[in-house]
Amino acid sequence: MLITDQGELGRALEHHISIVWPDAECRVHSPLRAGRLPSAFSAIGYDAVVLDDRCDAGRGELWLANLLHRPDFPPVLYLGPADAELARRVLEQGAIDCLVRERIDHRRFAAVLRDAVQRRRQELALLRTQARAEELARFGNVTILGHRCIRRLASGGTSQVYLAESERAGELVVLKVLRETGDQDGDQERSQALWARFLQEYELISGIRHPNVVRIHDLGIADDHAYLAMEYFARGDLRTRLARRLEPAQALHYLEQMASALEAVHGVGVLHRDLKPGNVMLRNDDSLALIDFGLAKRTDLTIEMTGAGEIFGTPYYMSPEQGHGKPLDARSDLYSLGIVFFEMLTGRKPYQAATPMNVIYLHANAPLPVLQDELAVYQPLLDRLIAKEPEARFGSATELLDAIAALRARHGAA
C-alpha cells in the first residue's frame, strides 16, 4: 500500500516496486481524496506500507503513529525530506527505514522492502497456525478464512451481515452470510430457494463495472454456508443525509449518479425494484452506489405485514404499477428514483398515509406533488419521472441523463 497525495510520487513508487516484483499489486491511498483509513483496518492483506511524509497536508508522522498502533499492521517504510532529526523520530516510532523522498536510493529501497516482506510473510504464516486466527475468522457459527470479523452490522431473517476485513480485497468489506445451508434439514425446497436468491444477487451485479454500483469482491461457501463480500461504505446511506433536505445542485448531482447506475443496470437486463434512500450508499468522495439487488428480476413483489405494521418492500417509493402487482419495466425504477429526487429536494416524502395500502393508493391516484419557489425549475423533470402512467415517463435512464444535461445547459449550475 502506498499512502500519498502526490500522484507523480505514487507512479514512481509503483515503478520502483515493479522492478523488484513484476507481479506486485499496489494500491495508492490518497488521504486528501479518500479520507482516513478506517480505525478497524489493519492492512492484513498487505506485505508492506510506504508512507509519504507530506500526506494529509503534512501529517505523515501522525499517520505513522496511528498505523503502528494497529494490531498486526504490516511494516511501514517512511519517505520524507533529508532531515536527520525526522529520520530519528520515525525510526524510534517503529518505521523500518526513512528514505529521502526526492532522491530515493533504489537499491536500499528494494533491500528494505525485500527484508520487510519476508518477515511479514513469516509472521502471517505463524499467525495462521494459532488459535487466534480462527477466532478472528469466526462469523457467528461460521469460520470464513481470509476474513477478519470486526463486528456484526445487522441480523435478518435469511442472513447475518458483518463488517469484516478481507485479505483478498485489501480493505474493509460487508460480509453477508446466509443463515441456512444448501442441504438444510426440514423445508429443503425453501432452503434451496433462499440459496438461489442469495446467489442471484451476486450474479446480477458481479458483472457490472460501474462507479455507481456496489463492488462485489467475493462469493464463497464456508462450513456449508454461502457468503458474499461486498464494498463497505463508512458514510452510510442516503437515508441518513435526508434528515434535512439537500441543496438543489447536490440533489441533481445525486440524481445524475443514480440515473447513471440505472443505465448500467438496465443495460444488462436487470430491474432493481427496491430503489430507496436506504439502498443508496455514500462514499468518502461523495459519490453514490446502488446496493441490495435482492429483489431484482423477481416476477412478483409481495408486501408482508408484521404485527407492528412494518412492511417489506417499502411502498413510499413504489411505482403505481409495482404497488398493484402489474408487470414492470425500467420506467418503474425511474419512478422510484423520482420519489427519491423529490425527497432530496424537499426533505419529505410526497405520499404519506396511515397504512401501506393507503400509500399505494396515493401513488396511483393523488395529484403530482408541486415544487415551490426556487425548486420550480425542477418540476418538468419531476413530472416526467413520477407520471402515473409509465408511457408518460422517461423511457430510459439514458433519456433522463439527457434531460439533466439539458437542464444544466439552460440554467447553468442548477
- What integer is the mean pLDDT of 396-400? 97
* pTM listed for this prediction: 0.83
What architecture is the 132-231 domain classified under in CATH? 2-Layer Sandwich (3.30)
Query: In this structure, what C-alpha cell is assigned to residue 367?
Result: 395529484
Looking at the predicted structure, is the pLDDT value of residue 158 above 90?
no
Q: Which part of the chain has CATH 3.40.50.2300?
A: 2-129
Instruction: Give the tens place of pLDDT for each residue, 244-300.
Output: 899 999 999 999 999 999 999 999 888 898 999 999 999 988 899 999 876 555 333
CATH T-level topology, domain 2-129: Rossmann fold (3.40.50)
Pair 42, 69: CB distance under 8 Å: no
Looking at the predicted structure, is the pLDDT value of residue 227 above 80?
yes
Higher-pLDDT residue of 185 and 29 is 29
Spatial distance between the Cα atoms of 210 and 269, rounded to a whole number of angstroms = 15
CATH number for the domain running over 238-411? 1.10.510.10
Under the phi-then-psi rule, with left for phi > 0, alpha for psi from -120 to 50, and beta for the rest, what region is 275?
A: beta
Q: Which part of the chain has CATH 3.30.200.20?
A: 132-231
Spatial distance between the Cα atoms of 291 and 298, rounded to a whole number of angstroms = 16
Residue type, 157: G
Instruction: Give the tens place of pLDDT for each residue, 167-187.
Output: 999 999 999 998 877 555 556
154: phi then psi, degrees, rounded to nearest 5? -160, 160
Burial of 228 by CB count in 10 Å (0-12 exposed, 13-18 middle, 19+ buried)? buried
Query: In this structure, what C-alpha cell is assigned to residue 315?
Result: 411502498
**Catalytic entry in 274, 286, 383, 402:** 274
* 274 in catalytic set: yes
SS (H, E, C) 325-351: CCCCCHHHHHHHHHHHHHHHHHCCCCC
Query: In this structure, what C-alpha cell is assigned to residue 83?
Result: 532531515
Query: C-alpha dihedral over 182, 184, 188, 193, to 10 degrees?
Result: -40
Q: Which part of the chain has CATH 1.10.510.10?
A: 238-411
